[in-house]
Amino acid sequence: MIQIHIPDTVKIAGCVYTVEREERSFVNGGSVVDGTHSFFEQKIKVVREGTEDYQSVVFLHELMHGIFENYCPNIVSAADEEKLVEQISKGLFQVITDNPEIIKEVKRR
């Protein structure tokens, strides 16, 4: 079984984002959410509630928002981005967990 590690920091487009863990769902922009991404604060927040798999999907979801914001700004509407990110994060999680051999640690020289 493979598990996604949620690190303390992650790099997106050369920027180091701090990853914070929240104990439970929280309010962001008037909505109750399980994760957030902030380009301006370079911060990702992920809830500790739910299964490890669920937390991993939330983390991948927020990573996808970071990737979209840095590499695909304004290509789709905010509503469409949310739909795309939701499906891509679930699909990426499935591919990684069902095919762990595709990810391999390589030692740098």
Indicate whether 109 belongs to any domain: no
- Is residue 2 domain-resident? no
How confident is the model over 42-87, as pLDDT tens digits? 999 999 999 999 999 999 999 999 999 999 888 988 889 999 999 9
Q: Which residues form the domain of 32?
A: 9-100
Q: Which of 31, 52, 13 is nearest to 21 (CA)?
A: 52
Q: Which two tokens stand for residue 80?
A: 């469409």
71 occurs within a structural domain: yes
The answer to whether residue 42 sits within a structural domain is yes
Q: Is residue 60 part of a domain?
A: yes
Is the per-residue pLDDT at 2 higher than 80? no
Please give the pLDDT value at position 40: 94
Instruction: Kindly state whether residue 3 falls inside one of the protein's structural domains.
Output: no
Read off the CATH number of the domain in which 91 is found. Answer: 1.10.10
User: In this structure, are residues 63 and 88 in contact, taking their beta carbons and an 8 Å threshold?
Assistant: no
The distance of Cα 42 from the centroid of its chain, to the nearest Å, equals: 13
**pLDDT exceeds 90 at position 1:** no
pTM beyond 0.75: the answer is: yes
Asked, for residue 1, whether it belongs to a domain, the answer is: no
Residues in the chain, overall count = 109
Domain count, the chain: 1
Residues 44 and 35 sit within 8 Å (Cβ to Cβ) = yes
Which of the four pLDDT bands, split at 50, 70 and 90, describes residue 12? Answer: very high
Q: Sign (positive/negative) of CA torsion 88, 49, 20, 80?
A: positive
